[in-house]
Amino acid sequence: MLSKSIEEALNRQIKIEGDSSQVYLAMASWAEVQGFEGISTFMFAQSEEERMHMLKLVKYINQRGGQAKISSIVEPVLDLSSYKVLFKQLLEHEIKVSESINDLVGIALDERDYATHNFLQWYVAEQIEEEANARYILDKINLIGDDKGGLYLFDNEMKNFTSPVTTAK
């Protein structure tokens, strides 16, 4: 059985994961309209992945005797001035999600809820991968600079992006 404070913290994380899905969806839509087929494909896939992270939390809370709460959707506020700015925001967003997961782990340890602590280790590993991927992509973008040919190749490669990091999936 989950304590009320753990249940509330996990429910806050459900909102964060849902908001993350919306952020990626907004980025995907922008990229698609701009003609970045690869970037939009990547962002649509990321949006779906974040939704799955949210559903995993919903199931966990409900299976542990709690009540998962689904909150309203908030329109993401993004700077859509360039693909480079987009990926910088992506990294900043993933860092915030990592901080939230780390806070959750701390609460689980404080309450000696080792089942939840164990469950959250998947999210810890996932966030390491998400941040590393964002940094890797930004490194590639910085290498491209203003080269249009490089941008074309980058966008094309993003269609089938595979993480250079060991996956937590």
Q: Which residues are annotated as a binding site?
A: 17, 50, 53, 94, 127
Residue 169 has pLDDT above 50, yes or no: no
Q: State the average pLDDT over residues 134-154.
A: 95
pTM: 0.93
Q: Are 84 and 54 in contact (CB under 8 A)?
A: no
User: In the 3-class helix/strand/coil scheme, how is the chain assigned residue by residue?
Assistant: CCCHHHHHHHHHHHHHHHHHHHHHHHHHHHHHHHCCHHHHHHHHHHHHHHHHHHHHHHHHHHHCCCCCCCCCCCCCCCCCCCHHHHHHHHHHHHHHHHHHHHHHHHHHHHCCCHHHHHHHHHHHHHHHHHHHHHHHHHHHHHHHCCCHHHHHHHHHHHCCCCCCCCCCC
Residue 167 has pLDDT above 60, yes or no: no
Pick the CATH number of 4-158 from 3.40.50.10320, 1.20.1260.10, 3.40.50.300, 1.10.1780.10: 1.20.1260.10
Q: Are 86 and 64 in contact (CB under 8 A)?
A: no
Residue 131 has pLDDT above 80, yes or no: yes
Question: What confidence tens digit (pLDDT) does each residue in 26-47 have?
Answer: 999 999 999 999 999 999 999 9
Q: Are 84 and 27 in contact (CB under 8 A)?
A: no
Domain ranges of the chain: 4-158
- Percent above pLDDT 70 for the chain: 98
What pLDDT does residue 74 have? 87
What pLDDT does residue 130 have? 96
Closest-CA residue to 94 (of 23, 169, 3): 23
pLDDT-wise least confident of 111-115, 137-141, 158-162, 165-169: 165-169
Q: How far is CA 19 from the centre of its chain?
A: 9
Q: How confident is the model at residue 168 (pLDDT cuts 50, 70, 90)?
A: very low
Q: Which residues are annotated as a binding site for Fe cation?
A: 17, 50, 53, 94, 127
What pLDDT does residue 166 have? 62
How far apart are alpha carbons 97 and 76 in whole angstroms? 15
Residue 110 has pLDDT above 80, yes or no: yes
Closest-CA residue to 42 (of 166, 168, 158, 162): 158
How far apart are alpha carbons 72 and 132 in whole angstroms? 30
